[in-house]
Amino acid sequence: MSAGGQSANPEGTWDEERCEAAIARLEQLQEQMDAMRLAIHRIVKPLTAPRNNPDQLYAAYKNAVLGSQNEIKALRGNWQSQETQSIFEHTKESLRANSDLSAAANVPQWGWREAQERRRKAGSRKRKAAEMEDAPTRLDAAEVKRIVEEAQREHPQIHVEMRNEDNRELTIRFADGAKPKLLTSNLVFSVAVQHQANGQHKLDAECLGMAPDAFVISRCIASRPRANDLKYLLDMIAAYYTVRGSSCAKCKERFDRSMQSPMARRSLQTTTDSGTTETTWQAFHESCL
């Protein structure tokens, strides 16, 4: 949303945020109209200044005319825009429903555009901070080893084998005697760390085997969020043992229309009474993702 803009959905409900954005847009419109009061003055000003060079006089006059024309076009475009017209229509409907405008006396006349800009910048900073926080650390061999060892301490039921010296290929199995709940066979997962030229990395993961369950699980893993977060991926794989997939967290059914059981695992962030954040894992049908 721009500083004087509003919601991209003109048919949406008029909540407080959208009303504030609408007032900011009207404030911008008012500023454009106020600027047009000086349009004629700006056009004739080059003619009153002493100039010895006719070319300079013509250039100054031309720039003044074109500048005023552009301001008129901008004002017309803003006035005729769908966003502004929806504000006018909503205002008419509100007046028909309640013509008492006494409450408007308590609404500030100016400052709405600045407030919208501050809100936009704050949201941008928050998004950038979240992106930096979620950005995965560069996965060299030492970092892969650290993450794997941490995951195995948290999930003793999984065993991770690092198959080469730089730890780019991982095989994940459930420990001896640990069988995933409600799955017909033990599962084996493969993870490959692909380093890219820009210094970033990509994680390719799949469930090995020819069983139908393995193909479905591989697709569910491939569509995971935080696709290049190794810790998150290992937590997800461990959830195939710890989460009993007896029903889907979304539709609450044991089987979907294709008679497939919940083969996907996704995390849910919850806040406890003490204010701490906990991560729980849930089972989903592939069709319910």
Q: What is the DSSP string of 232-271?
A: HHHHHHHHHHHS--SS-TTT--SS-TT-----EEEEEEEE
Instruction: Tell if the pTM clears 0.75, that is, is over it.
Output: no
Amino acid 185: pLDDT: 52
Q: Structure tokens of 206?
A: 């799949």
Write down the pLDDT at residue 180: 52
Comparing CA positions, the residue from 189, 185, 202 lying closest to residue 155 is 189
Question: Can you tell me the distance from the alpha carbon of 172 to that of 203, in angstroms, rounded to the nearest whole number?
Answer: 14
Query: What CA–CA distance (Å, rounded) separates 282 from 288?
Result: 12
Q: How many CA atoms lie within 13 A of 275 on its CB side?
A: 0
* Residue pair 182/199 in contact by the 8 Å Cβ criterion: no
pLDDT means per 10 residues in the chain (289 residues)?
42 80 90 89 87 87 91 92 92 89 82 83 71 61 88 89 81 70 67 80 86 86 89 91 82 87 88 78 89
Q: Measure the CA dihedral 180/263/189/230, to 10°.
A: -110
CA atoms within 13 Å, Cβ hemisphere of 200: 8
**Alpha carbon distance 208, 64 (integer Å):** 71
Distance of alpha carbon 86 from alpha carbon 240, whole angstroms: 50
Length of the chain: 289
Task: Outline where 135-229 has alpha helix (H).
Answer: 141-154, 212-222
Using the 8-state DSSP alphabet, how is residue 154 labeled? H
- The pLDDT score that the predictor gives to residue 234 is 93
**Per-residue pLDDT, 116:** 83
The token duo for 1 is 């949303």
Q: How far is CA 254 from the centre of its chain?
A: 31
| Side-chain-side CA neighbours of residue 253 (13 Å) | 12
Question: What pLDDT, on a 0 to 100 scale, did the predictor assign at position 182?
Answer: 46
